[in-house]
């Protein structure tokens, strides 16, 4: 029987109603006590790493999760991390950069309703997660509502329904039907994972609104090493408002700027419009193409944890990791 490590970090799945609202209270052992049938799937051991609402998860916690797995990697066949849904997509992306090429499954799951509630998705999600962790499913993925989503491609797209996550610009890896994993895509892996232990959390995100001027971008760029600008459509910045000069100034100061889009699907293409092309060709901003914003945030933190050298940053940014970016590198 496969040996799986359950790593508890909190979230709704482990929450109970308190006077102040739902808060994570249950331990990993208490979670497991709700689903004794898991003993028929695998042998489980537990680590209670954190017990937080995932709103409070930070890059330091991502490093703790990666270290926890690294220290125990040879002892287990797979890993299940229970986590709040709100920032699970960021954590899944971050772990995809911190633990690359893992031949063993690293599965994140959680729930929209606590495990102690009468109507809950917790038991299905946790059981599916253990089923997947006991399969040959390499790399980091989210298992939720019977879907398997690649860690670099997940986004929380619903706040309340059980169908909380979508796979963005990439097919699901598989689905679970009546407890059986039907696999559509097998993620590549190496014979051993490569672990990383540094992140630079000075990465900021700015969503453009019509009429925005450069003041917010100046504020963020002064305090950050990289700024992601979520612009409109396939991408660009307003011609009025001083953005162009702002970005030119801060890039000359060594800041990294990445343009992405607010539109949920299909990604950026800065070459199309005048408002975007100059950013790329004259200023040299990077663009996210089909990456999720969650993956861009985590990838920049991972890259800047290793280098500030502009050419190296650009090369690493466009080099696919766990299929986070398909274009332009693979087209």
Q: Tell me whether residue 82 or residue 260 sits nearer to ligand ASP (CB atom).
A: 82
Q: Tell me whether residue 13 or residue 228 sits nearer to ligand ASP (CB atom).
A: 13
Least distance CB 320 / ligand ASP (angstroms): 28
3-state DSSP of the chain: CCEEEEEEEECHHHEEEECCEEEECCCHHHHHHCCHHHHHCCEEEEEEEEEECHHHCCHHHHHHHHHHHHHHHHHCCEEEEECCCCCHHHHHHHHHHHEECCCCEEEEECCCCCCCCCCCCHHHHHHHHHHHHCCCCCEEEEEECCEEEECCCEEECCCCCCCCEEECCCCCCEEEECCEEEECCCCCCCCCCEECCCCCCCEEEEECCCCCCHHHHHHHHHHCCEEEEEECCCCCCCCCCCHHHHHHHHHHCCCEEEEEECCCCCCCCCCCCHHHHHHHHHHCCEECCCCCHHHHHHHHHHHHCCCCCHHHHHHHHHCCCCCCCCCCCCC
Q: Tell me whether residue 112 or residue 268 sits nearer to ligand ASP (CB atom).
A: 112
Q: Report which of 163, 167, 137 is spatially closest to residue 151, judged by C-alpha positions.
A: 167
Q: Tell me whether residue 65 or residue 237 sits nearer to ligand ASP (CB atom).
A: 65
Least distance CB 301 / ligand ASP (angstroms): 20
Q: Tell me whether residue 93 or residue 257 sits nearer to ligand ASP (CB atom).
A: 93
Least distance CB 313 / ligand ASP (angstroms): 31
Count the neighbouring beta carbons within 10 Å of the beta carbon of residue 122: 26
Least distance CB 13 / ligand ASP (angstroms): 6
Q: Is the peptide bond before 329 cis (omega within 30 degrees of 0)?
A: no
List contacts with ligand ASP (CB under 6 A): 10-12, 53-55, 84-86, 110, 112
Q: Tell me whether residue 14 or residue 258 sits nearer to ligand ASP (CB atom).
A: 14
Q: Tell me whether residue 34 or residue 277 sits nearer to ligand ASP (CB atom).
A: 34
Least distance CB 265 / ligand ASP (angstroms): 23
Contacts of 141 (CB under 8 A, 6+ apart): 92, 105, 106, 107, 108, 132, 148, 149, 150, 151, 173, 187
Catalytic residue among 12, 85, 91, 152: 12
Active-site residue flag, 12: yes
Least distance CB 104 / ligand ASP (angstroms): 25
Q: Residue 278 burial by CB count (10 A; 0-12/13-18/19+): exposed, middle or buried?
A: middle
Least distance CB 237 / ligand ASP (angstroms): 32
Which residues form the catalytic set? 12
């Amino acid at each position: 029987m496969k040996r799986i490590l359950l790593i508890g970090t909190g979230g709704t799945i482990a929450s109970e109603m308190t006077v102040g609202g739902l808060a994570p209270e249950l331990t990993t052992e208490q979670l497991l006590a709700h689903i004794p049938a898991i003993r028929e799937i695998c042998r489980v051991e537990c680590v209670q790493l954190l017990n937080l609402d995932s709103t409070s998860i930070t890059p330091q916690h991502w490093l703790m999760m990666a270290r926890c797995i690294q220290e125990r990697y040879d002892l287990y066949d797979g890993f299940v991390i229970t986590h709040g849904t709100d920032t699970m997509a960021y954590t899944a992306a971050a772990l995809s950069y911190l633990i690359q090429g893992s031949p063993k499954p690293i599965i994140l799951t959680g729930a929209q309703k606590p495990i102690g509630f009468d109507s809950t998705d917790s038991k299905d999600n946790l059981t599916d997660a253990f089923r997947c962790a006991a399969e040959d499913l390499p790399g980091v993925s989210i298992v939720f509502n019977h879907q398997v989503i690649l860690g670099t491609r997940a986004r929380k797209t619903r706040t309340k329904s059980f169908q909380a996550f979508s796979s963005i610009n990439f097919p699901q890896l598989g689905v679970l039907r009546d407890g059986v994993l039907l696999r559509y895509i097998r993620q590549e892996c190496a014979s051993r994972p490569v672990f990383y232990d540094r992140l630079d959390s000075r990465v900021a995100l700015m969503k453009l609104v019509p009429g925005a001027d450069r003041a917010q971008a100046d504020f963020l760029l002064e305090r950050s090493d990289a700024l992601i600008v979520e612009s409109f459509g396939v991408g660009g910045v307003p011609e009025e408002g001083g953005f162009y000069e702002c970005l030119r100034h801060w890039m000359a100061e060594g800041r990294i700027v990445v343009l992405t889009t607010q539109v949920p699907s299909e990604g950026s293409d800065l070459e199309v419009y005048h408002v975007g092309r100059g950013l790329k060709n004259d200023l040299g901003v990077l663009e996210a193409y089909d990456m999720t914003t969650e993956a861009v945030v985590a990838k920049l933190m991972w890259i800047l944890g290793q280098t500030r050298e502009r050419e190296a940053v650009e090369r690493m940014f466009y080099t696919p990791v766990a299929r986070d970016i398909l274009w332009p590198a693979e087209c």
